[in-house]
Structures are given as C-alpha cells and as structure tokens.
Amino acid sequence: MAAEFHKVFNMEGFDKDQSPKWQMVPVNGTRYIALRNGAGLTVRSEPANVLTISEIPRSQLPTTGRHLMPLQATDRIFKLVGTGKGHALVKAIAANGAVAAQLQVDTKHRKTVSVTFNFVNDSAGHHTRRSPTAAVSWVRDMNWIYNGQANIFIHLRTTRSLAVPTDLGEEVTWSAGVNSEWNQLTALRDPAADMNYFLVWEYQQDADDTDAGTLTGNCIFEDNAGHAIGVTMAHEMGHHLGADDHYDAARRIHLMHGITDARGEHLPMEDVNVMNP
C-alpha cells in the first residue's frame, strides 16, 4: 500500500482533504504526524528554516490534554517543531530518490483576539436572558476550536451590562442607515476589545430571522441562537477573522458551514490561512 501521512491528535490543524495533506504547526510549538506504510523511507522537511522534524517512539507522545486518534502498530511517529514563520513540505523519500508521500505545513505565530460580552437591555424593558456567568464557558468552547487548529487564542477581556437609552423593540434590526438599531447598539462597544458580542433578545437582518450578524468587530447575537452556543460564537468569530459562510452539505463538519446546529468544529486549510495568515 502507498505511504501516506495521518494525523495523530484530533483538533490540531490537520486537513486530510488537501493534496498533499496539510498540517498547521505553531511557531515555537509542536505537532505530531504519523507516516503509514513508510518503512525504510527517509523523512525530511524543505526548506530547513521553517520547522524541524524528528522521529520519536510512541511512548514520547503527550498523554494529557489531547485526543489521540487510532494508530496502526507500524505507523512511524514524527514530531514537528515550528522554528520560523512560513510554508514547508515534508517529504517521505525512497532509497531511489522517489517521493513516496508529502505533507504541506504552514507555521503560524500565535494570534490573540480579545472579546467583550455586552448584555443588552433597553429603555422599554427588553433584555437578554443570558447570564454573564456563561461567558467563561463560551470562551473555553471557542478556544477548543481555535487554539489547536489555528494557533488563535480568544481572551475574555470583560463582561458588562449595557443599557441602551432607547426602545429597540421586539427585534433588534440591521440596516445601513446612520440611525439604525445596529449603529445605535454598536456605537456603545468596548473600544478596547477586538471583538464585541452584543447579547440581545431577538435579531433580524435583511428581513431574515437570523441568529447573529457580524461586521467590523461587532456581533449582535440573539437569545435563540441554537443550542451549541460556543460553536455559534466561534462561527461568528470566523467572520470577524475574514472567513465566509458556505452551504456545501459535504463540508458540514466545517465551522463555517452556514446552518446553525448543523455545522461542525473543523477548520480546513483555506479557513486557517485566512484567519491567521
């Protein structure tokens, strides 16, 4: 059987659907990769200044904090260490010089995004049902998705109660007008945060009853935004980081699948390279 690279841990930035397959490695961080059907092959990385690669026994794999994938007894395990920012190609080479398998690698600097959660109430008594105590779990869920796959870290700057001095009505709506409810609300953002989430009771955009809307570092997020709240917030964070929705049923495992509670948590190569270039 042909030699091929496989992921060792889940949620650590591996994309099997690329050709060659792809792995994200943090600068000054490590990832692990398995080479299947690779007995006798020499493994090296080109160029040499982006990452180092070394074969390790399975006993040296981390045993905590990671989800180990099923491995075969003959899989060879390699440790990848990011030594500089860039793109590399890991090659498994036969004795005759033929390349038997390849793996693309992009190394990424750590990127931090600070967030503030604004719990909105208005002059007519409309208010979000959500509690600030949930913010820690939302950030934890977002970091589960982003840390390992994209080397992006979400930092909870603060939570705050936000009183809007007007009646926003039964639905907070988006429009392009200067005095739109979107503009009234987002004008009250925390300017020290990279991303502001505004928790409201109901949100409507472009005549659609949508769960949330994100633009220029602001997200209005309604109380009825599905069940997997942290995943939906991570999806909106993806928009802030430059990624678009898709509605391809074959890619429903992706975070940027556009249907709430039908999407997954996977970040493919194309999204990671947009979110953390």
Tokens of 189: 């953002």
Res 210: pLDDT:
87
Q: Which CATH superfamily is domain 111-275 in?
A: Collagenase (Catalytic Domain) (3.40.390.10)
Q: Give domain limits for the chain.
A: 4-108, 111-275
* Average pLDDT of every residue of the chain: 96
Res 207: pLDDT:
67
Res 34: pLDDT:
98
HSE-up of residue 226 (Cα within 13 Å, Cβ side)? 18
Q: Which fold has domain 4-108?
A: Immunoglobulin-like (2.60.40)
Res 177: pLDDT:
79
CA dihedral 249, 254, 258, 261 (to 10 degrees): 90
- Which regions in the chain score pLDDT beneath 50? none
Res 5: pLDDT:
98
